[in-house]
Structure 1
């Protein structure tokens, strides 16, 4: 049934499942934001149909299992169709999509632009969201975006003004590096923030939460939740060193620091070594890879939240919002998207940071040779957090309960606007604006072959002994004759069943049962009977040759 009396269904598509199969990763950063988006889209979205294209048949099965587990409403599930990527080409030609959206604006989106421009029955907006914007690959990804022939009704969805500025610079650099006009890129840079899991708005009782973690009621708990990874997130050494000196100076005797998050064993081992080296093992608690259901209790058990991120991998700061939603005052570094979420003295406290004005020449010259994660570390090691200001703010939050209450309450009010319902509404308003822009646009896609990848048939055509051409004559083998009666005599891999057609196979085998035929004749037979394009006939013929069902004469 169409929604709101529409004459035609509103169709939403993506070549991104938004779901991670990593048992821990889904609880942190991009995976948790993407899965939260998908859940909210299916719950609050107003589109009639949602087409999710999955990597392969295994990915499709995993997505369908996720859908059964996390989408309890049969009516919501009925709007979702899961298909493998390889099924997209024919559906783009047959169906009218209203928008395609991606949980990342780089890896798949440029190729989706080329697919739309070449295959779609009618154009539609394509959007993708920003997450991490650092790393060497971003340079080539910006170039891919520029070369993919984006339309004025496409958009990069930036989660923060900081991300917006970074993408604008990146696209300008890409155009300049490719010898194009630097100040022009048709793609729209829109701003839609991330949102929180609505369940986090329901904060457990403090006493119950403290009991869960065996925390006395009379201690002040400073909490930090996030990925524990020196190269990817934050360097704890300066902060732990400062906390040790602060403790030695007095006034922190009843303070407990809780560091909870996801990470690999070596990263937690390093963190534990730092804690012991600074003599903080009695006042700093580590909770590695904690159960997801414990997160609300962590916030409820804390008195304030702090995060001294110094890594360029961060662009938003979802845990800051979660902490504010739980009523916690926030102390964080004044860095990237963090500064947009926290207003100093109103919804939290910001600690100034300083970075280098110009990278050492050795990095500019060898950046492509240095491992990406190591380059992240080198860059972050030049980000200096004002440790004196950190101490002043940290101590103030420890001793001033009234300040904690005031900042926490204002933070709670601020975070209330970052719900998934509101975010999905922002997205639908954005997609509607882009569709209207498309309607009034004179934009036409560039003609010619794709610019992001070469033709494999051209690149590797010299590998085989010969190339199958229309003049080649083919005949049935004994296996081929047997297949006319029983088609389970050859292995058909699950991912190949999407491409192989029983009807095309019957036409090929039936024609050859009457005697040898050329490939050109088989193409024509399948075209007349089934309207099958020549390339798919060639695929089926070569697959039958591969399994010995056909022979070349």
Structure 2
């Protein structure tokens, strides 16, 4: 049987497309999971997490992808199994808590990986800063979907190390996770559009032969994705310049009524000569029809909320020429003049946004308003946009050439099968690195001296150990209280008041039987019940809470 390289941290929100609020990260997570299922060989796909319900959802989603696929589910603290597998992977970049949890078993036992999505939220920025002092090692990795993401994380880490050096008077050496660049992917065959499907889609939308159809697909939000004014104004100018009939398909979902009103009034105000069709992104059939009817794709992202941008890649896979803003991950996906066109963007220089950062820090702004206010100062070169759109509207052969080039690139470099192999290679490399490094005497000594837990999650019986009069130890002697027997235990343990207990019936009955013979220490009860002393201490605590046993005076 093929050996598993990785266990996947699974919560439905990271992978399931059926939720009420579909985001790019869920589309990416679902595509990633499909690739994992396809590459599984004869081994079961392994998921993990704290919730058995999530395990059931994991198995169900995998079966929906491939009914023949098998799964296994591990608890979030299955440290020995994680060590055997080698790598635990999250569908996000929240590795700090995972690394802190790993301290309980040792930071050299397995590797952690995650992947970036939006980097502009307070939570994510705090998480990036925390990498600097977190127990993350060189055999861990935060997969960055673009070099732009790498730059953001490196900037935050450098600033945080400078802060730590100032605070503690010592230089903080660069360390922590690797930052490899692996893009998001597409299942390219999902987007193949033949002439018959295209003709049917255009007929269904009453699009005439001579009309040029531009498509925008994704979240229809002016505040945190792509402000639509430049697209509206650009297409209006092209319609006037060329005299051609132009249709704009806006395919997606509005996150709120404000956005819907803005888009619907915006097209009337800023592109009245362009025919605009709104395609409901919640209707899968209508959404596919919108893609099939298009001649070109437009996405002018201008928000720091965007990090990679999946829809231009989907458009390339569909064979559409793409017109995108020259913005973060877009510039690493779309080759200007080869797969489409990238439009120049401008934003205020560094130092202009200190009040915006302070507003986020003080919670005057939430993440959405922070991204929106930041985007207010950002714009695309409208004249360049008009020129590039004009060329595509007037030159069908140019559209075909750019579309074919983008489609070939999407299949060769961004198909999930290709991208997933990069993940597999990364996991093998991290495993090899960890195994080699932890064998070095200096590293082994450092790891052996690592704390066995995060300071914010200390054993409550130690952290709050001064609260009670006495602590139960292995030497504490207990006696049976009057009327305490198996029947009394059964009645009390099944009552709602004792839903939570450290007294499993088999061990509890053995402990009561031992005490029926006379007083006993916790160590003696442990031997009689077949439990460790720590488990016996907890067991006696629960039996004492039920009023079945009593501790002799110290």
- Normalization by structure 2: what TM-score? 0.84
Change (3 A) 1:318 1:450: same
Contact 1:127 / 1:155 at 8 angstroms: preserved in 2? Answer: yes
Contact 1:461 / 1:467 at 8 angstroms: preserved in 2? Answer: no
Distance 1:380 1:193 in 2: 24
- 1:172 maps to which residue? 158
Counting only pairs closer than 5 Å after superposition, residues 103-252 of structure 1 correspond to structure 2 as 103-106=91-94, 109-119=95-105, 123-179=109-165, 181=171, 184-204=174-194, 205-244=197-236, 247=239, 249-251=240-242
Count of paired positions: 530
The counterpart of 1:482, out of the listed 461, 468, 487, is 487
C-alpha displacement at 1:217, in angstroms? Answer: 3.5
C-alpha displacement at 1:448, in angstroms? Answer: 2.1
Contact 1:220 / 1:255 at 8 angstroms: preserved in 2? Answer: yes
The counterpart of 2:453, out of the listed 446, 450, 453, is 450
User: 1:440 is paired with a residue of what secondary structure?
Assistant: helix
Contact 1:11 / 1:96 at 8 angstroms: preserved in 2? Answer: no
Counting only pairs closer than 5 Å after superposition, residues 349-360 of structure 1 correspond to structure 2 as 349-358=341-350, 359-360=352-353
C-alpha displacement at 1:270, in angstroms? Answer: 3.0
- Normalization by structure 1: what TM-score? 0.85
Contact 1:10 / 1:47 at 8 angstroms: preserved in 2? Answer: no
Render the CA deviation track for 1:198-225: whole Å, top value 9, x for unaligned. Answer: 4424324211222344433432110011
Distance 2:8 2:47 in 1: 5
RMSD value over aligned CA atoms?
3.4
Distance 1:216 1:507 in 2: 83
C-alpha displacement at 1:355, in angstroms? Answer: 1.1
Q: Unpaired runs of 5+ in structure 1?
A: 4-8
C-alpha displacement at 1:158, in angstroms? Answer: 1.2
- 1:424 maps to which residue? 420
C-alpha displacement at 1:466, in angstroms? Answer: 6.0
User: 1:305 is paired with a residue of what secondary structure?
Assistant: strand
Counting only pairs closer than 5 Å after superposition, residues 23-34 of structure 1 correspond to structure 2 as 23-24=18-19, 28-34=23-29
Q: Unpaired runs of 5+ in structure 2?
A: none
Distance 1:490 1:516 in 2: 27
The counterpart of 2:385, out of the listed 387, 390, 399, is 390
C-alpha displacement at 1:408, in angstroms? Answer: 0.5
Distance 1:99 1:542 in 2: 37
Structure 2 residue 252 is matched with structure 1 residue 261: yes
Render the CA deviation track for 1:448-500: whole Å, top value 9, x for unaligned. Answer: 25346242627973897767523374746868632666898345999x79x87
Contact 1:483 / 1:489 at 8 angstroms: preserved in 2? Answer: no
Render the CA deviation track for 1:400-445: whole Å, top value 9, x for unaligned. Answer: 1111011011111111121121122111111112222223213343
- 1:300 maps to which residue? 292
Distance 2:189 2:22 in 1: 14
Distance 1:412 1:502 in 2: 63
User: 1:156 is paired with a residue of what secondary structure?
Assistant: strand
Render the CA deviation track for 1:165-218: whole Å, top value 9, x for unaligned. Answer: 222222222222222646612422112111102442432421122234443343
Distance 1:186 1:192 in 2: 18
C-alpha displacement at 1:23, in angstroms? Answer: 2.9
Distance 2:58 2:492 in 1: 30
C-alpha displacement at 1:342, in angstroms? Answer: 0.9
Render the CA deviation track for 1:339-386: whole Å, top value 9, x for unaligned. Answer: 011111111101000111122442343331222211111111111111
Contact 2:477 / 2:519 at 8 angstroms: preserved in 1? Answer: no
Structure 2 residue 356 is matched with structure 1 residue 363: yes
User: 2:335 is paired with a residue of what secondary structure?
Assistant: coil
- Of 158-167 and 441-450, the range deviating more from structure 2: 441-450
- 1:6 maps to which residue? none
C-alpha displacement at 1:263, in angstroms? Answer: 3.7
